[in-house]
Amino acid sequence: MYIISKLVTRVIPKSQNLLPIVFLGKNRYSNSSIMAPKALIFLASGAEEMEFVITADVLVRGGVDVTVASLTDNKLVKCSRGVQIQSDIAIKDASSKGPFDVIVLPGGLGGTKEMSESKEVGELLKGQESSGRIIAAICAAPLALKAHGIAKGKNLTSYPSVKKDLLDGSEGYQYKEDKVVVDDKLITSRGPGTAFDFALTLVEKLVGKEKAKDVANGMLVSW
């Protein structure tokens, strides 16, 4: 097992017989300030690890105050490849931490299913949309937007295998195949390989293009 903390500034080897755990508690994973933009990231069982961690990490590097919400009272969540990630709060407490400048939905089929079935996710997304704030989803997660009736008629993208399911209905989505698709307050992306582009686009929208470029350069990411 490897415990990754403090934005991956050190890696501590543990027993090789245990699953990896990534701890992203507030005291380890936020450089928040009073005026910082605020992001809420849903963390559901079966979420795609890369999409979650890359997005959270890049947002923090960009100066965003990140709050991670598990969908149940169990804050230690097992993701799609067995990595366990600890949330900051349970989703039932998310409203008291808001409002959020962006709500982020990582992908992963298991996580997407849980988000699609969650009443709390639906309520938060509907409130976010009605208030004109950003909603961002990557990989299979746009299916959760569809399940809750979010972003009807908007341009979006997703993991290729869920395209048919997204378009099968009356939502009127306009499907694109770009790495990242921005339509007003909706930002969507395709999968693990586009997670950096996705996260940097969020930094650009929340903090500014120059900050996003600085973050990309610091990670040696072409953007």
Q: Give how far the C-alpha of residue 143 lies from the chain's centroid of Cα atoms, to the nearest Å.
A: 14
Q: Which of 58, 94, 121, 139 is catalytic?
A: 139
Scan for tokens 């969507």, then name that residue.
188
Task: Work out whether strand 38-43 and strand 180-183 pair parallel, antiparallel, or are unpaired.
Answer: unpaired
- Residue type for 75, please? K
- Residue 122 φ then ψ, to 5°: -60, -45
* 79 catalytic per annotation: no
Helices (H), the chain: 26-29, 49-61, 109-117, 119-130, 142-147, 163-167, 195-206, 209-218
Residues marked as catalytic: 139
